């Protein structure tokens, strides 16, 4: 199971496109005919991972549904930057209702499609990590539990970005946010808190749960397309670095996602009916420092007044992920 990468064609499937692949093996994003579901002119920050991840995901869903797609969007950066009044970037039917109700709105849309016999029209809901793991969590769980025919896409940038970078239940330990400042004896976000929503989603026994990052488009597209081939409640959490909130260079967005995966800080896997069926292995394992150090939100961990013991704890988290999900190839480690 899992995405079967092309082993070798100069770049295999690591790059977005590959002129050497058979046309039917190529990615949606490499095509001139991709739908650009979020049109140019949106107001996301330079290098926004969420803008990118959303286009990746929605374009893939558009391709899989042959353009028969409706999206419900939670409040958050994505919603705000994509509808610069009086214009909209969206090229598909799209609705924004509230911060915490996107899954339920999507349920309503799916019900409407079902009752009207429009079985070809598919529904996605999407939101940030805050909208998903916190305020929208009740609606999300309800949608899961009823197994409503909705694909939920969570764009995880690990904080409430739209309101100015406050902590969410997806914020990693030690991270500085506007509400977990790097002060006091345990600077940054507390250890031992937070919510693993992919696993909670799995506990609902829904048909499909996956994680992905903007650093691996082919894997992301595969997962969206796979999810779109199924019916019932499906959940994909996409790791989308936020240059503004993380204090990283706008050109580093994809690299950060790559390092998160390669360090084991963000396990990339997929699960069906509550069981893990595939993991994206780490290709070149790196220590967590390499991932943490370029980010200003972790700056207080390093330097003369740094907190090496907290870095060690972060490494332990990564190691645990690696063990738990089997992120390293047997020989590789």
Partner 1 sequence: MYKPFAITLKPGTSLANMTGTWRTERPVYLNRLPPCNNACPAGENIQGWLFHAESGNYEQAWRVLTENNPLAAVMGRVCYHPCETACNRGQLDSSVGINSVERFLGDEAIKRGWKFDAPASSSGKRVLVVGAGPSGLSAAYHLARMGHQVEIQEAGPLAGGMMRFGIPKYRLPREVLDAEVQRILDLGVTLKLNCKVSSIEQSMKDGRFDAAFLAVGAHIGKRAMIPAGDAAKIVDAVSVLRSMEGEDKPLLGRRVVVYGGGNTAVDVARTVKRMGAEPIIVYRRTRDKAPAHDFEIEEALQEGVMIKWLSTIKHAGDSSITIEKMALDDKGFPQPTGEYETLEADSVVLALGQDVDLSLLQGVAGLEIVNGTVQVAPNMMTGHPGIFAGGDMVPSERTVTVAVGHGKKAARHIDAWLQGSSYQPAEKHELAEYGKLNTWYYSDADKTVRPMLDVIRRQTSFDEVQGGLDESTALFEARRCLSCGNCFECDNCYGVCPDNAVIKLGPGKGFQFNYDYCKGCGLCVAECPCGAIKMEPEET
Partner 2 sequence: MLKQTEGSKAVAEAIALCRPEVICAYPISPQTHIVEALGEMVKAGNLTPCEFINVESEFAAMSVAIGASAAGARSYTATASQGLLFMVEAVYNAAGLGLPIVMTVANRAIGAPINIWNDHSDSLSQRDSGWMQLFAETNQEAVDLHIQAFRLAEELSMPIMVCMDGFILTHAFERIDIPEQNQVDSYLPPFDPRQVLDPAEPVSIGAMVGPEAFMEVKYLAHAKQMQAIERIPVLAAEFKQIFGRDSGGLIRTYCSEDAETMVIAMGSVLGTIKDTVDEMRAEGHKIGVLGIISYRPFPLEQVRAALSSCKRFVVLEKSLAVGMGGIVATDVRMAVTGSGLKGYTAIAGLGGRPITRATLHKLFLQAEQELLPPVTFVDLDWEAVNKQLTREQQTRRSGPAAENMLHDKGLISAKFG
Ligand X SMILES: Cc1ncc(C[n+]2csc(CCOP(=O)(O)OP(=O)(O)O)c2C)c(N)n1
Considering CB distances under 5 to 8 angstroms, the limit depending on partner class, which of ligand X, Mg ion, partner 2, none binds residue 147?
Answer: none
- CB-based contacts of 125, cutoff 8 Å, min separation 6: 71, 72, 73, 74, 102, 103, 105, 106, 143, 150, 151, 152, 153
Of residues 233 through 272, those in contact with partner 1 by CB under 8 A are 243, 249-255, 258
Cβ proximity to ligand X: between 4 and 250 the closer is 250
- CB-based contacts of 43, cutoff 8 Å, min separation 6: 80, 81, 84
**Looking at 2, 47, 187, 188, which residue binds partner 1 (CB under 8 A)?**
47
**Looking at 23, 40, 86, 192, which residue binds partner 2 (CB under 8 A)?**
86
> DSSP string spanning 73-102?
E-SSHHHHHH--TT---B-S-EEE--SS-H
**Looking at 81, 144, 160, 266, which residue binds ligand SF4 (CB under 6 A)?**
81
- By CB atoms closer than 10 A (0-12, 13-18, 19+), residue 329 is exposed
If binding is defined by CB under 6 A, does position 127 make contact with ligand X?
A: yes
Stretch that binds partner 2, among 50-58, 98-106, 167-175, 228-236 (CB under 8 A): 98-106
Considering CB distances under 5 to 8 angstroms, the limit depending on partner class, which of ligand SF4, partner 2, Mg ion, none binds residue 93?
Answer: partner 2
d(CA 31, CA 267): 28
If binding is defined by CB under 6 A, does position 77 make contact with ligand X?
A: yes
**Distances in whole angstroms, Cα of residue 102 to Cα of each of 42, 73, 143, 208:** 21, 6, 10, 19
**Looking at 98, 111, 200, 244, which residue binds ligand SF4 (CB under 6 A)?**
244
If binding is defined by CB under 6 A, does position 188 make contact with ligand X?
A: no
Cβ proximity to partner 1: between 32 and 305 the closer is 32
**Distances in whole angstroms, Cα of residue 247 to Cα of each of 47, 192, 229, 297:** 12, 23, 37, 6
If binding is defined by CB under 8 A, does position 145 make contact with partner 2?
A: yes
Name the site residues for partner 1 (rule: CB under 8 A).
Answer: 7-12, 14-20, 27, 29-30, 32, 36, 38-44, 46-49, 51-52, 55-56, 82-92, 217, 243, 249-255, 258
């Amino acid at each position: 199971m899992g995405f079967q990468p092309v082993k070798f064609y100069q770049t295999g499937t690591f790059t977005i496109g590959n002129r050497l692949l058979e046309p039917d093996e190529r990615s949606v994003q490499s095509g001139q005919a991709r739908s650009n579901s979020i049109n140019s002119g949106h107001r996301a920050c330079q290098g926004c991972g969420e803008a990118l991840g959303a286009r990746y995901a929605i374009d893939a869903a558009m391709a899989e549904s042959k353009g028969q797609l409706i999206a419900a969007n939670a409040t958050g950066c994505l919603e705000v930057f994509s509808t610069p009044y009086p214009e909209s970037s969206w090229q598909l039917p799209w609705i924004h209702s509230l911060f915490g109700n996107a899954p339920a709105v999507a349920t309503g849309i799916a019900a409407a499609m079902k009752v009207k016999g429009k079985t070809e029209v598919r529904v996605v809901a999407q939101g940030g990590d805050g909208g998903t793991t916190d305020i929208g969590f009740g609606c999300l769980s309800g949608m899961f539990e009823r197994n409503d025919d909705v694909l939920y896409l969570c764009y995880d940038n690990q904080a409430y970005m739209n309101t100015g970078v406050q902590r969410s239940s997806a914020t990693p330990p030690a991270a500085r946010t506007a509400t977990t400042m790097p002060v006091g004896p345990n600077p940054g976000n507390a250890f031992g808190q937070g919510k693993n929503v992919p696993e909670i989603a799995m506990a609902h026994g829904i048909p499909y749960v996956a994680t992905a990052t903007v650093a691996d488009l082919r894997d992301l597209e595969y997962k969206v397309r796979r999810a779109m081939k199924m019916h019932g409640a499906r959940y994909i959490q996409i790791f989308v670095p936020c240059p503004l909130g993380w204090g990283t260079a706008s050109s580093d967005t994809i690299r950060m996602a790559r390092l998160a995966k390669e360090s084991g800080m963000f396990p990339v896997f997929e699960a069906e009916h509550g069981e893990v069926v595939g993991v994206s292995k780490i290709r070149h394992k790196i220590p967590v420092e390499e991932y943490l150090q370029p980010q200003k939100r972790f700056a207080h961990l390093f330097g003369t007044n740094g907190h090496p013991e907290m870095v060690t704890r972060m490494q332990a988290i990564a190691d645990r992920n690696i063990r738990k999900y089997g992120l390293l190839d047997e020989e590789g480690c």
